[in-house]
């Protein structure tokens, strides 16, 4: 197995040691505060599959279900090797393994939304010779990290140390690789089908940097004549890219069309991988079952109205008919703000937004949700939906946050831009009256969804998930219903006033 190291410099000089140390302390508090994110991480994110620290050999072995390029640094007091796995979601609470001897413990946690962090800590007074830390990539998803025997720290610390990175995946003969023979869209089954001539494995996740759904197939190469599917005007996929990611991994990057939801991946046979594709449906039925927001689980899917919009599917507001767009913020891999006890903005605002829509609908006002489930939705499609449907008003619903160290800050803020002032005031007043939430004012702000919508639009920050008062109330479903009713009443009042003018 071939190993190739690239050196990356780690500063460990005396002069900046304390700043490295401090920033790491900050990192740790974030890591503890944010580990709750991992509980709601998308099922499709790449995962840390296994890890094992072999104390007799001072060797850590990790396996991920997609390729990863670890990053490592050595931090002092006590000495610890910090290994970050970008693009990897741990999917469980912090793991803390006590070890005996000079390597004292190993911790694994979610450092940020898509980075898993492993920390190997030495007993006090011991250190590692950084140049002797060996990273070995068995493949791009399996790594061995071999530590040298810890030494008692001397008074002098090395000024600059190199930590090796980046593997060359072990090579298979071309004859062992599967060839991807076709990537096709099956219209009748609504599936993307990836066919190979030999057994393959796959992993998949949202690639945030490319705004695409990434399917990685291995061990495989792209067949010579293989092209992606023909994508017509009405295709549920707007773009698809096939590329050879490394010597034995093919990546299929899928950009779904607006309003299209990607579903389950399946492997019906060893040589076939499929991805379910669902067009957003326009649903008339209103499900008013009470929704729960837990700190850990994704909110229940409540398909109330058309969650998104292919151009032809958006019901246009007929002459004189009012149409309200309700826009619950964030969703999918983006949890929004994270507050006390891991309370997540995306679940709260989905529940409230859904109830606002239901409430308006009951009162004869047509309402559309930009998202009706826990999905990833950018800002642009939210605005597009409002514009294409010729909406009367647009109401975005968010929850606020400040530092977890400021639980004293709670309250309602309603934002507008341009023509939304009247709507903002009316909603704000109603919410203050009906919920008793603290008043942090009606404010003007250049938020994208406010600037880019041509109808009166507002953004309601229903409360602070980091605020002691707001967090406890927003965790309560009866309070969320109260909040939703208040927002709906404000919208109705505004529409009635506007109609009289």
Catalytic residue among 245, 345, 413, 461: 461
SS (H, E, C) 161-175: EEEEECCCCCCCCHH
Nearer Cβ to Zn ion (355/366): 355
Q: By three-state DSSP, how is residue 95 classified?
A: strand
Nearer to Zn ion, 82 or 386 (CB): 386
How far apart are CB 397 and Zn ion at their closest, in Å? 9
461 in catalytic set: yes
Q: Does 87 bind Zn ion (CB under 5 A)?
A: no
Alpha helix segments (H runs only) across 39-165: none
Radius of gyration of the chain (CA): 26
Min. distance of Cβ 381 from Zn ion in angstroms?
16
Smallest distance, Zn ion to C-beta of residue 306, A: 22
| CA 407/CA 463 separation, integer angstroms | 12
Greatest extent of the chain over all pairs of C-alpha atoms, in Å: 82
Residue with smallest beta-carbon separation from Zn ion: 398
The answer to whether the CB of 167 falls within 8 A of the CB of 140 is: yes
For Zn ion, which is the closer residue by CB, 40 or 106? 40
Print the binding letters for residues 26-65 with Zn ion: x by CB under 5 A, - otherwise: ----------------------------------------
Per-residue tokens: 251: 């990546």
CA atoms within 13 A on the CB side of 63: 4
C-alpha to C-alpha distance for 450 and 174, rounded to whole angstroms: 54
Window 194-253: residues binding Zn ion (CB under 5 A)? none
**Smallest separation (angstroms) from Zn ion to the CB of 433:** 24
- Kindly state whether residue 336 participates in binding Zn ion, applying the rule CB under 5 A: yes
Residues of this chain, 274-333, that bind Zn ion according to CB under 5 A: 329
Q: 122 to 141, contacts with Zn ion by CB under 5 A?
A: none
Q: How far is CA 20 from CA 12, 17, 276, in A?
A: 8, 5, 46
# residues near Zn ion by CB under 5 A:
3
- Measured from the CB of residue 399, what is the shortest distance to Zn ion in angstroms? 6
Q: Give 145 or 450: the residue with its C-beta nearer to Zn ion.
A: 450
**Shortest distance, position 441 Cβ to Zn ion, whole Å:** 17
Nearest residue to 389 via CA among 308, 331, 499 = 308
Residue closer to Zn ion, measured from CB, 167 or 463 = 463
Sign for the CA dihedral angle at 257, 372, 214, 37 comes to positive
Nearest approach, Cβ of 16 to Zn ion (angstroms)?
A: 35
Q: How many CA atoms lie within 13 A of 87 on its CB side?
A: 20
Answer for which of 141, 346, 398, 473 binds Zn ion (CB under 5 A) is: 398
Site map for Zn ion, 345-384, x if CB under 5 A?
A: ----------------------------------------
In the bound state with Zn ion, the residue whose beta carbon lies nearer, of 164 and 329, is 329
Number of residues in the chain: 501
Nearest to 354 by CA among 493, 487, 492: 487
Helix axes 477-500, 421-435, angle to 10 degrees: 140
**Residue placing its CB nearer to Zn ion in the complex, 44 or 398:** 398
User: Cβ of residue 396: shortest distance to Zn ion, in angstroms?
Assistant: 8
Distances (CA, A) of 476 to 299, 352, 404, 473: 14, 11, 20, 5
Contact 165, 6 (CB under 8 A): yes
- Of 48-56, 61-69, 71-79, 398-406, the segment contacting Zn ion by CB under 5 A is 398-406
- Considering the complex, state which of residue 121 and residue 461 has its C-beta at the smaller distance from Zn ion: 461
Please classify residue 147 by burial: count the beta carbons closer than 10 Å to its beta carbon, then call 0-12 exposed, 13-18 middle and 19+ buried. Answer: buried
> Hey, what's the torsion of the CAs at 337, 30, 38, 351, to 10 degrees?
-20
The answer to the question of residue 335 lying near Zn ion (CB under 5 A) is: no
- At 463 the three-state DSSP class reads strand
Q: How far is the CB of 435 from Zn ion (least distance, A)?
A: 19
Cβ proximity to Zn ion: between 228 and 336 the closer is 336
Catalytic residues: 461
Q: Interface with Zn ion by CB under 5 A: which residues?
A: 329, 336, 398
């Amino acid at each position: 197995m071939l190993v190739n190291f690239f050196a990356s410099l780690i500063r460990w000089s005396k002069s900046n040691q304390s700043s490295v140390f401090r920033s790491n302390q900050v990192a740790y508090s974030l890591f503890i505060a944010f580990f709750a994110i991992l509980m709601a991480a998308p099922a499709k994110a790449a995962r840390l599959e296994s890890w094992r620290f072999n104390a007799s050999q001072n060797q850590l072995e990790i396996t991920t279900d997609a390729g990863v390029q670890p990053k490592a640094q050595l931090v002092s007091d006590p000495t610890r090797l910090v290994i970050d796995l970008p693009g990897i979601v741990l999917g469980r609470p912090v793991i803390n393994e006590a070890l005996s001897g000079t390597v004292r413990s190993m911790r694994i946690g979610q450092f940020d939304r898509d980075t898993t962090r492993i920390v190997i800590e030495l007993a006090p007074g011991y250190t590692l010779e950084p140049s002797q830390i060996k990273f070995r990539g068995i493949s791009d998803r399996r790594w061995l990290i071999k530590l040298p025997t810890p030494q008692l720290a001397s008074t002098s610390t090395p000024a600059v140390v190199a930590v090796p990175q980046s593997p060359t995946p072990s090579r298979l003969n071309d004859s062992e690789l599967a060839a991807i023979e076709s990537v096709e869209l099956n219209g009748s089954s609504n599936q993307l089908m990836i066919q190979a001539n030999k057994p393959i494995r796959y992993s998949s996740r949202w690639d945030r940097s490319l705004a695409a759904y990434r399917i990685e197939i291995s061990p495989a190469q792209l067949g010579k004549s293989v092209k992606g599917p023909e994508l017509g005007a009405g295709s549920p996929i707007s773009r698809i890219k096939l590329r050879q990611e490394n010597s034995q991994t093919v990546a299929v990057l899928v950009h779904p069309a607006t309003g299209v939801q990607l579903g389950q991946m399946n492997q019906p046979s060893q040589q076939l991988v499929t991805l379910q594709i669902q067009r957003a449906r326009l649903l008339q039925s209103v499900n008013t079952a009470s929704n729960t927001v837990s700190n850990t689980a994704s909110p229940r899917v409540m398909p109330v109205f058309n969650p998104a919009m292919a151009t032809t599917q958006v019901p246009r507001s007929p002459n004189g008919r009012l149409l309200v767009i309700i826009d619950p913020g964030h969703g999918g891999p983006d949890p929004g703000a994270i507050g006390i006890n891991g309370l997540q903005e995306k679940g709260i605002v989905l529940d409230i937004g859904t109830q606002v829509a239901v409430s308006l609908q009951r009162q004869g006002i047509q309402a559309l949700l930009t998202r009706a489930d826990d999905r990833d939705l950018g800002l642009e499609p939210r605005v597009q939906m409002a514009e294409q449907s010729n909406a009367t008003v647009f109401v975005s619903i968010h929850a606020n946050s400040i530092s977890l160290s400021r639980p004293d800050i709670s309250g309602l803020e309603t934002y507008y831009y341009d023509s939304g002032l009247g709507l903002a005031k009316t909603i704000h007043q109603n919410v203050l009256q009906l919920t008793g939430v603290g008043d942090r004012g009606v404010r003007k702000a250049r938020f994208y969804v406010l600037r880019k919508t041509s109808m009166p639009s507002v953004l309601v920050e229903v409360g602070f998930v980091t605020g002691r008062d707001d967090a406890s109330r927003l965790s309560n479903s009866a309070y969320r219903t109260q909040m939703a009713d208040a927002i709906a009443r404000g919208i109705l009042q505004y529409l009635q006033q506007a109609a009289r003018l």
